[in-house]
Amino acid sequence: MAQVKTYVRPMGGWWRRNPYFVRYMIREASSVFLAIYSVILLVGLWRLTQGAAAWEAWLGALTNPISILFHWLALLTVGYHAYTWWKVAPKTAPDLRIGGRPLPECAITAGGLLGTIGASILIYVIVRWL
């Protein structure tokens, strides 16, 4: 039996060959940060059920430099995800029409980004002053 030597393009590091794929992988990686953040919140909720001392210990752990660094990376990647989410929203949203005309793509993206900014300001104000 003759071995057929077909060239198979190696796929290792495929996403580093093109900036488009690098951005894609950063967006996908944001989900790992989001999952870890969810678990951090879940642990916080668990500590809250154990009383004031446990809750204070959880808050104390969040001041660890490694925790701060993690949250900066999470903010960058999850923030980038939020931007890409609204960027593709015109493709994924149901057909939105106003007066029979489809809503312009930039209006959907802008609406989403304004929603993020508005929600962020609202949450900051509530946590800080209410």
Partner 1 sequence: MKRSNEPIFWSLFGAGGVLSALVAPILIFITGIIAPIGVWMPPDALAYPRALGFAQHWIGQLIILALISLFLFHAVHRIYHGLHDIGVHAGTGAMVAAYGSALLGTLIAAWLLIAVGF
**Which residue ranges make up the site for partner 1 (CB under 8 A)?**
11-12, 15, 25, 28, 30-32, 34-35, 37-42, 44-46, 48-49, 52, 55-56, 59, 62-63, 67-68, 70-72, 74-75, 78-79, 81-82, 85-86, 92, 112, 115-116, 119-120, 123-124, 127-128
Rounded to a whole number of angstroms, the minimum distance from the CB of residue 34 to partner 1 is 5
CB of 72 to partner 1, least distance (A): 7
The residue among 65 and 99 lying less far from partner 1, judged by its C-beta, is 65
* Cβ–Cβ under 8 Å, residues 109 and 90: yes
Any idea of the CA torsion for 85, 125, 52, 69, to the nearest 10 degrees?
A: 50
Q: 13's torsion region: left (phi>0), alpha (psi -120 to 50) or beta?
A: left
> What's the min distance (Å) between Cβ of 99 and partner 1?
25
The token pair at 110 is 């802008």
Residue 8 tokens read as 């198979």
- Alpha helix positions (H), the chain: 19-49, 52-62, 65-92, 105-129
C-beta of 57 vs 104, nearer to partner 1: 57
